[in-house]
Amino acid sequence: MSAAFDFLHAMIGERPIEIAAVILGLCNITLLIRRSIWNYPFGIVMVILYMKIFYDAKLYADTVLQIFFVIVQIYGLIHWHNKRDATGLVIVRRITRSQAFAYAIIGAGGVGVIGTAFSRLTDAALPYWDSTILVFSIIAQILLARRRLENWLVWVGVDIVAIGVYWAKGLYPTAGLYAVFLVLATVGYFNWRRAYKSGEAVDS
Model confidence pLDDT, tens digit, residues 98-133:
999 999 999 999 999 999 998 898 888 788 998 999
Instruction: Transcribe 163-202 into DSSP letters.
Output: HHHHHHTT-HHHHHHHHHHHHHHHHHHHHHHHHIIIII--
User: What does the pLDDT average to over 129-147?
Assistant: 91
> Where are the domains positioned within the chain?
2-200
In which band, very low, low, confident or very high, does the pLDDT at 27 lie, cut at 50, 70 and 90? very high
- Average predicted confidence (pLDDT) for the chain: 85
Residue 95 CA to residue 137 CA, distance in Å, equals 17
Residue 96 CA to residue 53 CA, distance in Å, equals 36
The residues, any chain, with a CB within 8 Å of residue 138's CB and separated by 6 or more, are 65, 68, 72, 110
Residue 160 CA to residue 174 CA, distance in Å, equals 12
Percent of the chain at pLDDT exceeding 90: 39
In which band, very low, low, confident or very high, does the pLDDT at 14 lie, cut at 50, 70 and 90? low
Q: What is the per-residue pLDDT for 5? A: 46
Residue 77 CA to residue 106 CA, distance in Å, equals 25
Amino acid, res. 161: V
| Nearest residue to 100 via CA among 161, 153, 56 | 153
User: What does the pLDDT average to over 56-69?
Assistant: 83
Q: What is the per-residue pLDDT for 181? A: 87
Name the pTM for this structure. 0.75
Inter-helix orientation angle 60-81/97-121, to 10°: 150
Q: Dump pLDDT digits (tens) for 148-173.
A: 999 999 999 999 999 999 899 888 88
Q: Is the pLDDT of residue 43 over 60?
A: yes
| Buried residues in 170-204 as b, exposed as e (16+ CB within 10 A) | ebbbbbbbbbebbebbeebbebbeebbeeebbeee
In which band, very low, low, confident or very high, does the pLDDT at 200 lie, cut at 50, 70 and 90? low
The residues, any chain, with a CB within 8 Å of residue 146's CB and separated by 6 or more, are 79, 93
Residue 162 CA to residue 29 CA, distance in Å, equals 16
Query: Residue 148's beta-bridge partner residues?
Result: 93
